[in-house]
Structure 1
């Protein structure tokens, strides 16, 4: 077994029992020395686990850390691809940056990078995603789908649907999706998605799905420089959300939806995205940097473009920009 597998097995043995587990028993069951057992116990304590040790009795797990770590996330995680393997960091510049480098170096599909905090979280169009530690979920997932580069935007919709489903399963809140990559609660941004791709002309080498969710952060922690109103699940629901449960549920939803995407294509995902997006049939304003116009949103095409009907009937496809509903 690898070092990580031994750690996971020790935790499983602690949880399977109702009391102390002797060092001798751990040594025998794991096939390692008593010295190695002690080394792993020290490592788990350093990772935040509270483990009691009593002479002639052995060890007992008292409490697990409140941080997101690979042992707790992997426990009971039943996914085919997503989260296998899993890297959890205390802090990093950006989980997308780490995952992108890992993918370039050959990391397998389904690899997930999660961080407690980010010092330079990435948002769309080069914007910053504020990432205070210990309160939210910041994760990136490596995928290697057999699709063309122009179809990769479909994975953004997959991410948005997965986040919306997870919010519904872990809270009493009702999320909505805003084109192209935001999830809202009561009109305020609670999650953002940033997918980055490495591709050739007709082949996607890999896509990194970047997902940031404001789980238990207070809006006051996000500062006063936000472009759009922001919120968190805590702010909207009034109670703290179990981040571990939220992370595991999200990975399971991503795994299910990605498996369906590979088997059935993007149509089911796009249909669910449209059900959750309040934009279709409504008047919207569109800002693309050098242009600003209004029209009626008619849906999205298979490449992720927003279809906007202009006055006069011509339909324009918007591939990037900021879109907002217009009060009528």
Structure 2
């Protein structure tokens, strides 16, 4: 039976399903047990599964990362929460130096089936270190999967897939859309595929590539552009490492035009990496230069000024119209 739920409820539902199906799934993080997490992603799970499987940790991200690596090499499947992406940096030492390398280091004898969850991105008028979008840092690391859902259904299916994956996964949740809408999600335990893009809207004139919270603005822009006679194909990348380049190349080869949208800063962003691959492998299909609509190369501003930083529907429409006008 399907219920209309928010993304944060879908995360909670997936965690409960994973813990029910597999007794080796362990949750750990700051305030996740007694308080149910800063965004209430784990509310009710302590009562359901007990304090041996839902563990409050000290405010120590380095320790959380180390515990997750240790647990995962010893047969458990830890799901660790970092309260905000801005606080993930201390845990990167363990993720980069150990989790991402463990399979290669031990020649396959050990692996790290861990998930590190973190809310990320702006849009909730938060203070410093609470609105970062630095997914490129993680996506650069070989052996470390980076997964970003953009709807309740994809949050449910992708989180289940991440927990069941035998490699370490950084699972970034766009908090701006945690409670933005409700969609039908069936608690059937079925995972969605990792390493695969999702085509959310088919179109023939231009390809719009995006992920995370800006998927919502991109879909709205595509709807408004359709009223102007421009047919947009919208692709949610979903997994940033490794990227499903085949889906992106097939779409751009067909439409001949592309705009890439992401919230992270422009310089060195994943949009640049995608654009480079498209230029290398689909150059002769392109009818116009690839454009990017991104955040700024600056620290995310505070509170209401976040809206100035974030890509808007109007920004996307303008980029598409300029791309379509190129001859």
Normalising to structure 1: TM-score of the pair? 0.30
Normalising to structure 2: TM-score of the pair? 0.30
- Bigger fraction of residues in helix: 2
Q: Give the number of the structure with larger relative contact order, counting CA–CA contacts within 8 Å between residues 6 or more apart.
A: 2
Larger radius of gyration: 1
